[in-house]
Amino acid sequence: MSKTYKQLDLDMIWFTYDPLHPWNLAERKGDRFVARADSWSRAFPSTWRETFSVRSIDEVLEFDPFEVWEIPSLNELTMHFQEVHSMVQSVYKSQLVPGGTYLTCFMWLVMMFGLRWAVKAAYYDPKRFKKLLDKFGELSLLQAKAWARTDIKAFISHDDICGTQGPFFPPSWMRRYLFPWYRRLWSELRAKGIVVLFCTDGDMTCIVDDVAEAGADGFIIEECCDLKRIAEKYGNEKVIVGGVDIGVLTYGTVEDVVNEVKRCLKDAGAYPGYFINVSGSIPDNVPLENLEAYFQATSKYRRRPFRR
């Protein structure tokens, strides 16, 4: 894989690492997980959670991660993160390997209880939900402090807070309960000169200013985001990764793929902070001719002087 990445001249790999994972706890509670045979990827099939052993909103709100997990110390986490990162970086010598977490804050709850239960709990009792969110925020803060003591240069902060039609919650709610935690977490990393890249599923266009204000140095975005608008505002000062629609690569023609690359470069290619990338990932159900067309087009057009 590392030789392939080098041959394709890729700049960075996607990497997040979470030693404490909600699904491990869910499995111990008897929840069922299955790797679907009809997944979009035969090589790396998606794992689906079939059951959620949640009985009530109160069960969600009363959960305390510090009571169910044995939390490592700051020094233990630092040493572990450094060891894991150094191992991965030694494999991908030609790419930047960031640090990262898939569970910035809200994602803890999504992975632990499922999106439906997490959202229901937030609306049912905002005060108690804040206390729950704060517990996971403290856990993430410990991990952010540990990552900040390693030698990473960048950090991917993933938190699925949006769908294709926008945020799961009103932006005002996020400003009150969620974004303050982002600021606290990211300040630990940025104080050490680490570049923080925020990533969420869905359309984050209407909250991108809030995410920037919280301290993100860049955004990893999906095709449903307004790439042109985000690039025009932040392309000269922040990193923007993404924009290419995986649906076009999967179901379109070779010409469609080339035009999709041109669209993204037309909207954002003039800005120094833009890195073209397929939103999400490139699974193995993408036709080979489209995959070849994508990399040929990015290689051909990426150095074109898209100047404004």
- pLDDT at residue 28, as a whole number: 76
Is it the case that residue 236 has pLDDT exceeding 60? yes
At 34, the pLDDT band (50, 70, 90 cuts) reads: confident
| Residue 2 three-state SS | helix
Residue with tokens 């690039």: 231
What single-letter amino acid sits at 112?
Answer: M
Q: How many CA atoms lie within 13 A of 269 on its CB side?
A: 18
Lowest mean pLDDT among 67-71, 95-99, 201-205, 213-217: 67-71
155 phi and psi, to 5 degrees? -145, 125
Is it the case that residue 304 has pLDDT exceeding 60? no
Angle at 277 between CA 13 and CA 95, to 5 degrees: 25
- pLDDT at residue 53, as a whole number: 79
What are the DSSP calls for 233-253, one per residue? HHTTTSEEEE-B-HHHHHHS-
Residue-wise pLDDT tens digits, 134-168 = 999 999 999 999 999 999 999 999 999 999 999 99
At 308, the pLDDT band (50, 70, 90 cuts) reads: very low
Residue with tokens 């939103």: 279
- pLDDT at residue 55, as a whole number: 87
Lowest mean pLDDT among 110-114, 198-202, 252-256: 110-114
Is it the case that residue 23 has pLDDT exceeding 50? yes
What domains can you pick out in the chain, each with its CATH number? 2-23+57-221 (3.20.20.210)
- pLDDT at residue 302, as a whole number: 78
Q: Which of 5, 1, 2, 11 shows the shortest CA–CA distance to 276?
A: 11
Q: How many CA atoms lie within 13 A of 80 on its CB side?
A: 15
